[in-house]
Structure 1
């Protein structure tokens, strides 16, 4: 059962591989933030949490993330949330308000 659960989780994360890869860059700090975001996109105030994890001010983090990826962190998080919501809506019978809460939107 553990193996099946692991495989299922990995398959569920495949859709995010292209998002975490995104635009190629050499900024390891931003790459680490992207990995963190893929795991914690449902966190309230994820951009502030990403900046804190990187030990940067939010302003410095925003500039660095945008320079590395060509995308604002909030847009990156929104994309992760929307992709996960699509996945849940396609693969489960959860109601939309539950899905929206699962992906980090407090209110649908």
Structure 2
């Protein structure tokens, strides 16, 4: 997602919230890449809090989006926490967590995650 598109996605999401439109796993999964692209950790964390409060829980696409957002924003401990609490993981989950750690020079930690989990 390019920055112009990310800004647009965030604006649409914020308008949706102001209009009291009920969020769901699709809206969460759609806005998280925007916050990832813009490296807006605080706003991404606010979305994470809304996810926790929602009735939808942490499905794979939302979990993967959170891992990506936290990783790209440099919050690797939060990325790992989301990864380890996901009930189900897929190849995207694994690739995202390993890539996130690797991009921040933490290849050894990525290897340990693979071994321990």
TM surpasses 0.5: no
- Structure number with greater CO (CA < 8 Å, separation at least 6) is 1
